Amino acid sequence: MLSYWVYIAIFLVVAVAVPIVAVGLPALISPKKSSKRKEEVYECGIETTGNIRVQLKSQYYIYALIFLVFDIETVFLFPWAVSVGKLPLYAVVEGVVFIAILFAGLIYAIRKGVLAWS
C-alpha cells in the first residue's frame, strides 16, 4: 500500500517536471527581442490608464464563503457515503439530517437574495 503512495509521489514529480521542460525548452530556442512597446499591458490597443488593481465586487466573497461551507460538508460526507452499507439504518438518517440542516441554510441564503449576481 505504501508503494502506491510512492508511485503518486513519483508521478507528481514527473507531472511537474515534464511541463517545466516543455516550457523551459522554448525559452532556450525562441528569439528574445524585447522592446518597451511589446511589453505593454493589453487594453484593447489603447494606452493603459488607471489603477491595475480594481476593486472586486463583494459578491465574489459571498460565493466563496458559501462554497467553503458546502465543500467542508462534502468532505464530511465522504466517509459517510463509504460506510452506508455497514452502518445501521439510523446512521443513514443521521447523515440525512446533517445534509438537511445545511440544505436549510442554502434555502435561507437563496431566499434572502444573497446568491444573486447583482
What is the C-alpha separation between 98 and 80, in angstroms, rounded? 11
Choosing from 76, 103, 104, 108, the residue that interacts with other proteins (CB under 8 A) is 103
Among 71, 76, 101, 104, binds other proteins (CB under 8 A): 71
Q: Of 4-23, which residues contact other proteins (CB under 8 A)?
A: 4-8, 10-12, 14-16, 18-20, 22-23
Interface with other proteins in residues 37-66 (CB under 8 A) = 38-44, 50-54, 56, 59-60, 63-64, 66
Q: CA 4 → CA 8, 17, 18, 25, distances in Å?
A: 6, 20, 21, 31
Residue 45 C-beta: closest distance to other proteins, Å: 10
Contacting other proteins (CB under 8 A), which of 47, 112, 113, 116?
116
Among 76, 96, 101, 104, binds other proteins (CB under 8 A): 96
